[in-house]
Structure 1
Amino acid sequence: MALAACGESPAAPAGGGPDSLTVLPRSLSPGEQRAVRGGSHFAFDLLKAVDQGARGNVLLSPLSVSFALGLTMNGSAGTTQAQMQQVLGWGAAPRAEINAAYRDLMTLLPQLDSGNVTVQIANGIWVRRPNVPDTGFVSDARVFFGAPVQSLATPSLMYDSVNAWGARATRNMIPRVLEGTPSDDLMMVLGNTVYFAGTWRERFDPARTAPRPFTLENGTVVPVPMMSRVGGAPTVYLGGADRLPPLVATELPYGNSAYSMLVLMPMVGSAGDVVQRLDTALYGQISRAVATGETRGEVVLPKFTLTASRALSSALSAMGMSRAFSDQAEFPRLFPSVATKIGFVQHAVAVTVEERGTRAAAVTAVGIVPVSMPAGVVVNRPFIFLIRERLTGAILFAGVVRDPRPPQ
């Protein structure tokens, strides 16, 4: 999705600042183009699934979730792989193309506007001893995802290692992604981190930040610290005659404009109404409109910090990849001799928006457990028994037990 935005970046606003990046340093490969389209599709579907019925703030990193699940999908096969590819926006693309696109995005995204914007993506795998993952899966994870493999003795040590790794990779914005006590059957954790730090192309003056009214969706007006600056931002008014309720769309670029924050504010209705209408076609329409929008004279934006931690298993199952979480899951490339499934997908995110710019970080952890053993047999009703010789079928004893209590 970030790459799609790069091609829509507006020209440099009046008032100076760094040079505006208007084209990518190279053409995207067909696989990367598919990754951008599919990634946007996945982002909106995930946002809809998580925001459905939500009353509070919602915060996600679709890119982090996609990388973590893409790494996990590399161990899948059959219906499980087909469902995961469909949900992640890959369709029927071959595994080699998907892996190459993830690898190339990991290389390209941090290079765009590296002097003004920091983007860091990392992946990792933690395995519980004495389990040994499939060598082909490990090789692909290292080559295409840069994911090292650590072997640890207990699930608790795995949790501790994942949390420490995530804290380092996010510069302590996400101190912990995995909370509580891990299940005893945890065999593997696959993780991804995304870290973003960008300075506004036109920064806000801290001296202008002051409380201003903010209207909540229930109509209550509350004071909120608001940043403001002159210098404008491309802004358009959309909706009414099309599928959207009337809304204001504005874009605030970072650095050389390769990265930006696109803000959509409905004038009537709720933000959730807009979320449920968003898709890749509408996103493209809004992006094109904003790119040619009129530059307004003042920008006023709340100064805020958000954090969120949520389990995504239910949302992902509802989106169409339920098999990966079931006892019918097919992950033959994770462990050669053990049938496994996804036990959890835990996602933690943090973002800080202030006068200088934006810092955001995410950690996604995918836990792998063995499929459930068949339910044990509890003989707690009257029953028949036959004592037999199995090969011939000869029955030596037969009985019906209706009351197994010892005789008085």
Structure 2
Amino acid sequence: MGPAWLWLLGAGIAASAHGDKSPAVAPALSSQLSEPAPAYLKVTPTITSFALRLYKRLAADTAGNLLFSPVSMASTLAMLSLGARPDAPAQVLEGLGFNLTETPEADVHQGFQSLIRTLQLPSPKLELKLGNSLFLDQQLKPRQHFLDSARELYGAFAFSANFTDSTSTGRQINDYVRTQTYGRVQDCLQDFHHDTLAVLLNHIFFKGTWAHPFDPQSTEEKSFYVDDTTTVMVPMMFQSSTVKYLHDPVLPCRLVQLDYVGNGTAFFILPDKGKVDTVIAALSRDTIQRWSKSLTYRLVHLYIPKASISGAYELRGALAAMGIADLFTNQANFSSISQEGPLKVSKVLHKAVLQLDEHGGVEVAATGGPLQLVSEPLTLNFNRPFLILIFDDFTWSSLFLGKVVIPA
């Protein structure tokens, strides 16, 4: 039997949903540190660093819109490492950025287990659905230990599939993803290699409620300047409210932090004209932490496009360049998944969708905290390419990273 193919899929959907008068109620990370540190803190900083490294690489290769879910990708790869031979898990986890001397492999998996379970805890007015699944060919005889570990640590459900019938199996997987993401992510899987034996899939669905809602009646068609020669008309949402704002003294950008009711928060970053690449190149965990500490409450006239953007990627090249290379060669050995083989990864596919809208009431409520009102409001108009980073601010894990070049 020749090399058999193992596919990794990631699918995500983020949507801003109905506005509400309630303030954001996400607990600050600092308040958690007075108690015993939860296990997810062993992995979330590394996931964020991995996210930003991958973000920079994808941004360099993507001229248009960019969107992906770091939590989705990282958890899928970490789950895959459970099935690798003794030396391969180290390459996968170290490629994600883990120092296995400081954080042993078992602690990494327990951290992901804690993260996945925490993200799925009920949250008021915020829906976050994260799941893993395994589609295994009916001729494959998986090892029970791998199935048990994947189920216990990553909540992964296993399904039997017939990959010799690529049409029906493709429909089975696509229907599953479409159902799990409420119809938003469709056709994430197109064609199989004829030797495909397994697909590892992660899906994530995020639907939040703005703490500061936008008034739909204030949305108007306005110009969006894609570049020096291209202008498109887009529906531009508007609100005048007190929000967390920063004119960065270090990087050429301005930004606001918009909270969701519950545990979600989003950074909207507007680079100076022509400085998108400069800002992306400087992104790091330290940058985000500095922003979080430096933001102050200001009265802002805020304009953000009402848009739906998506991203679809084959990440094999990007991951190989980041140090996770043997998965795609004959050096790979996933004998812990099945004794059949050799197995190696053929494709790492990822698709994400982000919907920004203003649904909700007309009235606006300020979030809690020391408000600093100014007599003259600032105007911040996202009418040129901008960046968006969405975090769960309970675990401080990166849910979605995006670059909006052409709002659709």
Take 2:246 and 2:310, find their aligned partners in 1: how far apart are those partners? Answer: 29
Partner of 1:141: 150
User: Secondary structure, in 3 states, of the residue corresponding to 1:111?
Assistant: coil
Shift of 1:28: 6.7
Any stretches of 5+ residues in structure 1 without a counterpart? 1-14, 364-408
Partner of 1:150: 159
Partner of 2:42: 34
Aligned with residue 225 of structure 2, among 215, 221, 224: 215
Deviates more, 1:43-52 or 1:152-161: 152-161
Partner of 1:381: none
Is the counterpart of residue 254 in structure 1 residue 260 in structure 2? Answer: yes
Q: Deviations over 1:187-232 (max 9, x none)?
A: 1111000000001001101100002222223354433211001213
Partner of 1:309: 312
Matched to 2:160, the amino acid is: S
Is the counterpart of residue 186 in structure 1 residue 196 in structure 2? Answer: yes
Deviates more, 1:168-177 or 1:326-335: 326-335
Q: Is the 8 A contact 2:219 2:237 kept in 1?
A: yes
Distance of aligned partners of 1:317 and 1:207 in 2 relative to their CA distance in 1, 3 Å threshold: same
Q: How does 1:97-116 map to 2 (within 5 A)?
A: 97-111=107-121, 114-116=123-125
User: Secondary structure, in 3 states, of the residue corresponding to 2:341?
Assistant: coil
Partner of 1:167: 178
Is the counterpart of residue 70 in structure 1 residue 78 in structure 2? Answer: yes
Shift of 1:80: 2.6
Q: Is the 8 A contact 2:38 2:114 kept in 1?
A: no
Q: Is the 8 A contact 1:233 1:299 kept in 2?
A: no
Partner of 1:46: 54
Take 1:346 and 1:17, find their aligned partners in 2: how far apart are those partners? Answer: 38
Aligned with residue 350 of structure 1, among 346, 353, 360: 353
Any stretches of 5+ residues in structure 2 without a counterpart? 1-19, 361-387, 391-398, 401-408
Shift of 1:272: 2.5
Aligned with residue 303 of structure 2, among 288, 300, 308: 300
User: Secondary structure, in 3 states, of the residue corresponding to 2:27?
Assistant: coil
Take 1:186 and 1:18, find their aligned partners in 2: how far apart are those partners? Answer: 49
Greater C-alpha radius of gyration: 1
Take 1:20 and 1:274, find their aligned partners in 2: how far apart are those partners? Answer: 30
Take 1:96 and 1:265, find their aligned partners in 2: how far apart are those partners? Answer: 40
Q: Is the 8 A contact 1:37 1:89 kept in 2?
A: no
Q: How does 1:76-87 map to 2 (within 5 A)?
A: 76-87=84-95
Question: Percent identity, aligned pairs only?
Answer: 24
Matched to 2:342, the amino acid is: A
Matched to 2:352, the amino acid is: V
Q: Is the 8 A contact 1:305 1:353 kept in 2?
A: yes
Take 2:300 and 2:312, find their aligned partners in 1: how far apart are those partners? Answer: 37
Matched to 2:258, the amino acid is: L
Partner of 2:377: none
User: Secondary structure, in 3 states, of the residue corresponding to 2:322?
Assistant: helix
Shift of 1:300: 1.2
Matched to 1:143, the amino acid is: E
Aligned with residue 23 of structure 1, among 28, 32, 42: 28
Deviates more, 1:270-279 or 1:61-70: 270-279
Q: Deviations over 1:107-163 (max 9, x none)?
A: 111326x11110001110011121111221111011111112112233424322221
Is the counterpart of residue 238 in structure 1 residue 248 in structure 2? Answer: yes
Partner of 1:393: none
Take 1:349 and 1:103, find their aligned partners in 2: how far apart are those partners? Answer: 22
Matched to 2:58, the amino acid is: V
Take 1:29 and 1:335, find their aligned partners in 2: how far apart are those partners? Answer: 36
Aligned with residue 130 of structure 1, among 129, 139, 145: 139
Shift of 1:268: 3.5
Aligned with residue 239 of structure 2, among 229, 233, 248: 229
Q: Is the 8 A contact 2:66 2:310 kept in 1?
A: no
Corresponding pairs, count: 338
Give the TM-score normalised by the residue count of structure 2.
0.77
Deviates more, 1:87-96 or 1:336-345: 87-96
Shift of 1:335: 1.3
Distance of aligned partners of 1:63 and 1:347 in 2 relative to their CA distance in 1, 3 Å threshold: same
Shift of 1:30: 5.8
Which aligned segments of 4 or more residues in structure 1 are displaced greater than 4 angstroms?
Answer: 24-28
Take 1:354 and 1:30, find their aligned partners in 2: how far apart are those partners? Answer: 34
Matched to 1:276, the amino acid is: A
Distance of aligned partners of 1:161 and 1:29 in 2 relative to their CA distance in 1, 3 Å threshold: farther
Matched to 2:351, the amino acid is: A
Take 2:107 and 2:319, find their aligned partners in 1: how far apart are those partners? Answer: 23
Take 2:227 and 2:97, find their aligned partners in 1: how far apart are those partners? Answer: 32
Matched to 1:20, the amino acid is: V
Take 2:134 and 2:335, find their aligned partners in 1: how far apart are those partners? Answer: 16
User: Secondary structure, in 3 states, of the residue corresponding to 1:140?
Assistant: helix
Shift of 1:325: 0.9
Shift of 1:62: 0.9
Q: Deviations over 1:32-77 (max 9, x none)?
A: 1121101101110111111114211111111111111111111123
Tell which has more relative contact order, 1 or 2 (C-alpha 8 A, sep 6+): 2
